Amino acid sequence: MVVSTVPGPVVVRIEDVTKTFQVRKDNTLKDRIVHLGKLGREHRERFTAVDGVSLEIQAGTTVGLLGANGSGKSTLLKLIGGIVAPTSGAIFNRGRMAALLELGAGFHPDLSGRENVYLNAAILGLSREQVDEQFDAIHEFSGIGDFIDTQVKFYSSGMFVRLAFAVAIHTDPDVLLVDEVLAVGDEAFQRKCMERIAQFRAEGRTIILVSHSASQVQELCDRAVVLKDGQVVFDGDVNRGVAALRDVLEGRRLGELHERGTEQLIEVTAITLHDDQGDEVTEVKVGDPLTLRIHARAREAMSHWAAGFSIDTALGQMTIASNTERLGMVLPAIEAGDTHVDFRIDKVYLGAGQYYINANVSEVIDINSHVLMQGRMFTVRAETTTLGSVAAEISAGL
């Protein structure tokens, strides 16, 4: 199937939208009685969850909303879905919209799963006849079996998600809104949901996804919007969006490369990756060798210097690091100008995914180092039977 790259019409337009909530400071009944009247206003404050956001989302795109907890991404998704109204600004939608926003949202606890399928589908705009036609497919996709006739108040969180997602995707939506709820289901069901989302994407439907998983966003989305304190701080390429999210989570100025100081005698200028033939590469298979080349520029001749590197996951978790001191390597004296040092990994045993390389150089390791954060990104391809950031050959037996 060929997916068109031509931008479609705008299906969601957000114009300078702000959403504020009133938060009470007096949480107990006693506090509220004491603070009745004029003084009560002193115990309330306004919280701005979304602050002046403007976005346009074209048909057929898959957009990932990223941000730290409390950044406003879930509130923005609710505003798009019409669950809450903006305090100011306007939102315009077109097409059938299905929202999977909160665990059990739209489900009545005293009704059975079967009854809730009809109720929830009706809320999403389907007639009873349409639900009759789709019911078997919904039931099969949910995988909850005989529990379909059990009151949903007895469901586990995973069963809630299974049934809610099954209903949402069978309403034939033009726009699908998905919050972090997919994290509740088991791994097999998460993969099943992601495959269905990928199918929707291939069919040209619009998906807006809130997730804390960078790998999930990179796998599914073609655009990332990063929020901080209710405002959009990045809107664009997914990989750059993940880097922007990491900057936000670590409290750095967006786009900062952590180039500390301006008077170092030597600085990192670039990082490149090479195979055993010396060719520059951007991806590697599990078990293959890989050479990390740290390019540096010395301001003047140096009789001794040191270098190091680290490899991080897309969310900034360090997987491996080393330096010339740890390796017992003494680098030769250099003249002023450009030079480089190679670190060779004999076999890469990282799990499938995308990784960032950071590098540092200095006169003495870890003292007044010049650091280049996220100087290079590369992809690990794997056909292994394991998951996670570490790859290994595993066998099972009795």
Same domain, 217 and 308: no
Instruction: Give mean pLDDT, residues 36-60.
Output: 77
The number of folded domains in the chain is: 2
- SS3 state of residue 207: strand
Residues 20-24, mean pLDDT to the nearest whole number: 78
Query: In the structure encoding, which two tokens stand for residue 156, read together?
Result: 């586990």
What does the pLDDT look like over 143-181, one tens digit per residue? 888 999 999 888 887 788 888 888 888 888 889 888 865
Same domain for 315 and 210, yes or no, is: no
Are both 240 and 270 inside the same structural domain? no
Helix, coil or strand: residue 232: strand
The CATH number of whichever domain residue 325 belongs to comes to 2.70.50.60
What value does the mean pLDDT take over residues 184-197?
Answer: 72
Give the chain's radius of gyration (CA, Å). Answer: 26
The pLDDT of residue 256 is above 50: no
pTM above the 0.85 mark? no
Is residue 196, in this structure, part of any structural domain at all? yes
> 229: domain range?
10-95+174-249
CA 262/CA 257 separation, integer angstroms: 13
For residue 259, pLDDT over 70 is answered with: no
